[in-house]
Structure 1
Amino acid sequence: MMKKFKSLNVLSVLGMIVILSSCLSKIALEDDKILQQNEVQIQEYIKAKNLSVTKASNGIYYAVTKVDTNGRKMIAGDTVRVHYVISRLDGVKIDSSSISTNKPFKFIYGLSTSIFTKLLPLLHETEQGTFIIPSNLALGSQTFPNLPANSPIRCDISWFRTYSEEADIDRYVRSNKLTVTEKYTNGLRYIRLKEVTGDYMTSGKIAKVKYTGKLLNGLVFDSNVAKTDSFSVTIGGTSGIITGFQRGVERMKVGEKAMLIFPSSIGYGTSGSGKIPGETPLVYEVEVLAVKDN
């Protein structure tokens, strides 16, 4: 009797697996059918509108209608603001940002599941674009007012901008036409202003430097250029000097001039210091005058 009971259990489980497999197969077939229908609708729309588009690897069709390849690409952690209009392929508007009152939609890239996380990686900041999106990448089987389930949609991006310390630094570098010599994983940008020959300073040596510290808006918060004495930095030191300045000077040679730009994470952090607000990137122009033994 026990053996028969076990056999019935096994048969029951196998039966359930067969039923589930059959259901999943039907769902997969239905999804494929919807995708095929979407593809036909999209291709007809592209032809009717005479659009020149590219198909992205994620399946979205897009055209960059205002090009700026020097614009910044958003990165994880950026706060992003975007102006957009979403419409059906028959032209009926479904949704939009408040363009007339300049209230863009806002999200954090890397944390949000917004549809814009699929679109904006295809653009540089300040570019504009048109996107034709199949339903599986849009609203799927959900039904919304004026939008039937499984409908492909069009989205027009008229403006977007990234906000973060990294974005502010990138914008500063670009607007001042600076060429970054090296960028480090901690966010430090090293820009060589005067190149010299010779060896780098070794650990334990003391660098004598002149410097001017500024905010990105140009406000000078500290400088020793007009002073008689220079400022001492121990190469390989680990305390007493903010990390961005310390590591930047360690990258220099005697006689060299450089600009160091870095985020608050290796500056004065979230609390700031004196004239420096928290979460503020810093710019230092530095010259190494001499080096001596400790």
Structure 2
Amino acid sequence: MSTDVAQEPLDIFVRRVLAKSELLQTQEVFQENYSSDTLPKPLGTKAPLTLYIINHGAEASTESPNPSTGSPVKCVKLCKRILDQDPANTILCTQKSRVSLNFELVLVVEYEDNTFNVLTLPKDLSAFTKYTTDTKAFVGSTVLDPTTGAPIIQHQSVTQPYEQFVIKYNATSTAYANFEYTVTIPLSSFSAPLRKCELNDPTLQSYIVLRNLTYQVDVLDQYLAQAGATTTIWTTMVNFSLSEDIIDKLGINQDIQIMGTPEYVCQDSSCDCC
């Protein structure tokens, strides 16, 4: 860059960050706690998602007890989290920022007989009593309805920001497609207050940053699951949770003027060419 070029006003077009919210190690995969009443009530608090992973070699049977116990689960590891699309964000009536993540999980399961299997969730899940030959694991009756197989929304509704987690159907409602995690962040909890003119700016958008993905696994006891109306199958209970940092940056498009020197200054040539 030439030192002979004088400084001049430069008009720079940028996305200016006005405020941000950092949700550190937020648990995205969870199920809602329920009371111990005769008719359990949702409590609006989180617990790990309990997976009932079918034992290796176990078969559904009408015998009681089921003699086909199979080999229990020894360990579960997260192979990959697949984001089906970029994180979505919606500004709700200039009061809240709603962040949504749609994803699938690929788990590697090791059994006590030293065999392995790969689970793609939620595709390989079933509700209790809805077992098929493609089923590799179940979830509880408060996550998938055992009568219809319909997903049930899980809530964290005790402390702000409020959260939801649910299994989503595919477009034809014939299979489970992905998980959806949603968090609604009040704009009042961001790092700086936004003025009314900024909230009404038509270019107001948010940019979502995800980092520090972690997961927790706790292999529990064997469980005889209800596979169908008259059949059962042996499984291993595994508590699973997934957490990461979610950073929501709110910004607007702005022109910023500074005094500076352009890195390259073009010059007209002396020829008559175009």
Q: Give the TM-score normalised by structure 2.
A: 0.19
Looking at CA atoms only, which structure, 1 or 2, has the larger radius of gyration?
1
Structure richer in strand, relative to its length? 2
